[in-house]
């Protein structure tokens, strides 16, 4: 893919953050939050045109007319492709000479029954939710280690507690959570912060309809709603983005949103049967 090299390699003194999935949704909100805190931000996505439109939307008119002031950068890349991510790592090293923060946002939810999941669908979800994070982190970790920086992975409440009708999403996010936990232990000796942010459903305009096409006949219509029909209010993307920035600034190990969900996680760990009863009442269906 052709990449936008807007200048020759520079030495960046201010911190640099890379956000995967930065061309839309939560990734864009996180990019904006980091820009507000004076980071140079590189947004990464597969579609170069979407990246350009997002960059135009987030960059002020003043910045667009002053190339030295531009702090938002873009790079088109499939983060599940080893070769493309290797080129991304080279670009970051050549263009910025440093990387302080990596936020792995790329992922995909699902709808369906755990008992009906296919191996093909599991492969798809693990590729998008886990492989993307592992590939990017491994490629960019040498730069992160040089600056004793941060890696923040976007998990989900589904990586901590199950919800009905989420198909293979819980499986994939639990895998991501486990890998993040182990990486955090390994990176402590290198003074690299590894954090996990686990938000509940995020409010969006197409909430309740985004997964209509995934609904099988044996699922209630409410399963298409955020969280698979869980009775929980959608989180504003900006609130989640601010939590990610706070996780980076305070080098937090884990953030659960909404915070009160942590009580349910603890309860279910101690009293699994009680926890399951609560979860069943919180989700739609019979």
Give the pLDDT confidence score for residue 220 in this predicted structure.
76
Query: Among 3-7, 12-16, 172-176, 203-207, whose mean pLDDT is lowest?
Result: 3-7
Give the pLDDT confidence score for residue 210 in this predicted structure.
65
pLDDT (mean) for 213-218: 70
Phi, psi at residue 142, to the nearest 5°? -55, -40
Give the pLDDT confidence score for residue 231 in this predicted structure.
75
Residue 50 makes CB contacts below 8 A (sequence gap 6+) with: 23, 24
The pTM score is 0.90
DSSP letters spanning 44-75: EES-HHHHHHHHHHHS-HHHHT-GGG--EEEE
pLDDT digits (tens, 9 = 90+) for 118-166: 999 999 999 999 999 999 999 999 999 999 999 999 999 999 998 889 9
Question: CA 62 to CA 81: how far, in whole Å?
Answer: 36
Q: In this structure, is the dihedral angle defined by the CA atoms of residues 178, 19, 142 and 193, taken in order, positive or negative? A: negative
- When pLDDT is cut at 50, 70 and 90, the band that residue 211 belongs to is low
Give the pLDDT confidence score for residue 62 in this predicted structure.
45
Q: What residues does 60 pair with on adjacent strands? A: none
With a pLDDT cut of 90, the percent of the chain lying above it is: 74
Answer whether residue 41 shows pLDDT above 50. yes
Domains and CATH numbers, the chain: 16-282 (3.40.50.720)
Highest-confidence segment of 4-18, 131-145, 268-282: 131-145
């Amino acid at each position: 893919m052709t990449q936008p090299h807007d200048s020759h390699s520079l030495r960046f003194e201010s911190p640099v953050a890379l956000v995967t999935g930065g061309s839309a949704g939560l990734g864009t909100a996180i990019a904006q939050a980091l820009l507000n805190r004076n980071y140079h931000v590189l947004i990464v996505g597969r579609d170069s045109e979407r990246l350009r439109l997002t960059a135009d939307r987030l960059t002020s008119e003043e910045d667009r007319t002053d190339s030295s002031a531009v702090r938002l950068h873009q790079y088109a890349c499939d983060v599940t492709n080893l070769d493309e991510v290797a080129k991304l790592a080279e670009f970051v090293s050549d263009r910025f000479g440093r990387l302080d923060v990596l936020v792995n946002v790329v992922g995909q939810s699902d709808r369906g029954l755990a008992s009906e999941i296919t191996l093909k669908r599991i492969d798809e979800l693990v590729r998008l939710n886990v492989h993307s994070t592992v590939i990017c982190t491994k490629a960019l970790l040498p730069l992160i280690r040089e600056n004793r920086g941060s890696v923040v992975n976007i998990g989900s409440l589904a990586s901590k507690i199950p919800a009905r009708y989420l198909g293979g999403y819980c499986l994939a996010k639990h895998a991501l959570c486990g890998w993040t936990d182990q990486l955090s232990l390994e990176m402590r000796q290198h003074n690299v912060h590894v954090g996990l942010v686990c938000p509940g459903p995020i409010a969006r305009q197409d909430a309740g309809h985004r997964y209509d096409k995934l609904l099988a006949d044996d699922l209630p219509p409410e399963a298409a709603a955020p969280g698979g029909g869980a009775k929980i209010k959608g989180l504003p993307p900006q609130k989640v983005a601010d939590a990610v920035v706070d996780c980076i600034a305070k080098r937090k190990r884990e953030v659960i949103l909404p915070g009160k969900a942590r009580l349910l996680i603890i309860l279910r760990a101690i009293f699994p049967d009680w926890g399951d009863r609560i979860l069943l009442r919180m989700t739609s269906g019979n």
